[in-house]
Amino acid sequence: MIKKSFSTINFWIKFLGFFLLAYLIYKVGWKETIISIRKISLLHILVALIIFWIAFFVKSIRWKIVSNSYGIKFGIFKGLRVFFIGIFLGNITPGKLGDFGRLLYIKDELPNQKVGWSSLIMDRLFDLFCLLLFSFFALVYYQIVFQILVLPKNYWGVLFWLLLAIICSFVIFKNRKNIRNKIRPWWEAFSSHDLGVEKSFLSLILTLVSMILIYGVFNYVAWAMGIRIDHVGLFLGTFILGVLSLLPITILGIGVRETSLVLIFQLYNLPAEDAVALSLIIFLLQLLSFLPGAIWFYLSPIQLKQLRISKDN
């Protein structure tokens, strides 16, 4: 009952992003937003969509390298097809179970489930590392240009988080044996790869290339719309948007992305309707980019309940 109630609350919390978007468009104005959207041509939409697909192809190559290092062997085309299906499933299922859906398509190649999960975690870690790295550069850039961070007038907040960290550390220390016993088999599976320095560096480069393409789409669309903005600031700012989109109050970054872009545009004294229009165009491109995965999933479907069952096992 408690688990069901929590799932229900979590479901409705994710719709806060939609309410935030609706309020933002109400304040900015539908007409103004539509006028801004019309600034981009269908040709530029197509080019931006192709950029997304190229980025996903690059990421599928990285996933193949990581998987191969765990002894999971499959071809480039199968990796691309399954990766696109994973992207599609990850955006229509709760808890991002789409990643686990990838494992169901390559289950015959998996040594065991723990190794399969470990390969996905390693794949995600490359994304997380680069996302945080670019976000750090973004904070430094915005601090130098706009001085957006100021020292707090009091340090009660700092003391609160420090106290919370101490409590968490104490709890972990008291339960370290149980935690160690539970983590050990997973750590052994996670460490069973043979990436090495060369493959790790190649995977990192592929991650950087894919992220430059994915987040660079914001710059391309802004240029196509004729928005005069500092493209370095916009490019770096989109990585902060990427971090904020991980918050459990949004689906595909809806609401959070628009609000964040409006704040960035305000720093450059640019109209809010252009920020909202840019964000909505990116959202449309995201939906269109899922089409190959949706088609491949339709041609070789799996029962979504298998994701839950396999995860529990």
Question: Which pLDDT tens digit goes with each residue over 239-287?
Answer: 988 887 776 656 666 777 888 888 899 999 999 899 989 989 998 998 8
Calpha distance 150→140 (Å, rounded): 13
Query: Helix, strand, or coil here: 199?
Result: helix
Can you give the pLDDT at residue 131?
A: 92
Higher pLDDT, 28 or 42: 42
Neighbours of 290 (CB within 10 A): 21
Calpha distance 169→182 (Å, rounded): 18
Can you give the pLDDT at residue 95?
A: 52
Whether the pLDDT of residue 310 is over 50: the answer is no
Can you give the pLDDT at residue 260?
A: 84
Average pLDDT value over all residues in the chain: 83
* Mean pLDDT along residues 113-139: 90
Question: Which pLDDT tens digit goes with each residue over 44-78?
Answer: 999 999 999 999 999 999 999 999 999 899 999 99
Question: Which pLDDT tens digit goes with each residue over 184-237?
Answer: 777 777 888 888 899 999 999 999 999 999 999 999 999 999 999 999 999 999
Question: Which pLDDT tens digit goes with each residue over 144-173?
Answer: 988 877 666 666 666 777 888 888 887 777
Calpha distance 258→277 (Å, rounded): 9
pTM: 0.84
Can you give the pLDDT at residue 152?
A: 63
The residue extents of the domains of the chain are 50-312
Of residues 278, 289, 293, the one with CA closest to residue 46 = 289
